Amino acid sequence: MQKSQNISRSVIVRLPRYHRYLSELISMNIERISSKELASHMALTASQIRQDLNCFGGFGQQGYGYNVKALYEEIGKIIGVDKLKHAVLIGAGNLGRTIASYMNFNDCGFELSAIFDNNPEIFGLTVGGIAVQSIDEFESYCSTNTPDVAVLCIPSSAATEIANTVISCGIKGIWNFSQKDLIFQDDSIYVENLRLSDSLMTVRYHLKD
C-alpha cells in the first residue's frame, strides 16, 4: 500500500479501471477471479495485472486467484476513495454546473463543498445542493476550510492565473478541464489535465480520410 517507491503512471491509471471492473464483478456475485480471467475481460495480460498488483502487495493466493471483494477494498484504499478529501469547483458555467451535478465525487474519494464563479448573476444559484459564491471569497474560504483539490472549469485565458491563486491558497491537486494545460515543476502539486478537445481529436485522427 506504499505509494512511496515511485509507482509509474501506467500503473496508476489502471488502478481505477481495476476498481471499477471489480465492482461490476461484486454486483454479479462473483467471489474469486484469476489474473488470467481479469486480463481477458480488460484487454490486458495476466502478467501485467500481477505485476501491477504486486507494486502494492501480494493480494492473491496461489492456486486460487484473487478474492474479488477483498481486492476491490484494497485497491479502493490504494487510490484513497475510502477517505474523502475536500474539493472545490471553480467556474460554474455550462460545463462546471454539469460536472458539479453529474459527477459522483464521493465515489472518487472527494467531498465537493463549494463552487466559485466570477459572474455575479449566478451567485447564490444552487448546483448539486451547493450555492455558487463569488471567487472573491475564495481566499477567505480557504483560510478556514483548507480544501485539497480544485476542479477548474474555466476558460483557458483565466487558467494560469486561477491555478496560481489556488496553489498559493494551499491546494495540492488540480483537476483541470480548461484547454490550457497547466504544467508545474513543483511535484508536491498534482495536476490532471483533461483536454476534452485533444481527446476528440484523437478520434478524428483514427478515421480514414
Residues of the shown chain interacting with its own copies in the complex, contacts defined by CB under 8 A: 3, 12-13, 15-17, 19-20, 42-43, 78-81, 83, 85, 94-95, 97-99, 101-105, 107-110, 148-149, 172-175, 179, 181, 183, 190, 192, 194-209
Q: Are the C-beta atoms of 109 and 82 separated by less than 8 Å? A: yes
Q: What is the DSSP string of 157-200?
A: HHHHHHHHHHHHTT--EEEE-SSSPP--S-TTSEEEE--HHHHH
Grid cell digits, residue 16: 481505477
What does residue 45 show for φ and ψ, rounded to 5 degrees? -110, 155
Nearer to its own copies, 69 or 85 (CB): 85
Collect contacts of 14-20 with beta carbons under 8 A, ≥24 apart: 14/44, 14/52, 15/52, 15/75, 15/78, 15/79, 16/79, 17/42, 18/42, 18/49, 18/52, 18/71, 18/75, 19/72, 19/75, 19/76, 19/79, 19/81
For 146, residues 6+ apart whose C-beta sits below 8 A from its C-beta are: 86, 170
Binding residue for DNA (CB under 7 A) from 3, 24, 31, 61? 61
Please state the closest distance from residue 39 (CB atom) to its own copies, in A.
12
Nearer to its own copies, 137 or 192 (CB): 192
Piece of the chain touching DNA by CB under 7 A; list 46-54, 122-130, 165-173, 184-192: 46-54
DSSP-derived 3-state class of residue 103 = coil
Please state the closest distance from residue 67 (CB atom) to DNA, in A.
10
Please state the closest distance from residue 7 (CB atom) to DNA, in A.
9
Q: Does 62 bind DNA (CB under 7 A)?
A: yes
Question: Whole-angstrom Cα distance, residue 156 to residue 44?
Answer: 36
Taking CB under 7 A as the rule, which mask of x and - marks residues 143-182 in contact with DNA?
----------------------------------------
Taking CB under 7 A as the rule, which mask of x and - marks residues 63-82 in contact with DNA?
xxxx----------------
Residue found by looking up cell 485565458 in the block = 157
Residue 164 binds what, of its own copies, DNA, none (CB under 5 to 8 Å, by partner type)?
none
Residue 27 binds what, of its own copies, DNA, none (CB under 5 to 8 Å, by partner type)?
none
Q: Does 83 bind DNA (CB under 7 A)?
A: no
The residues of the shown chain that bind DNA, judged by CB under 7 A, are 8-11, 34-36, 44-48, 50-51, 53-54, 58-66
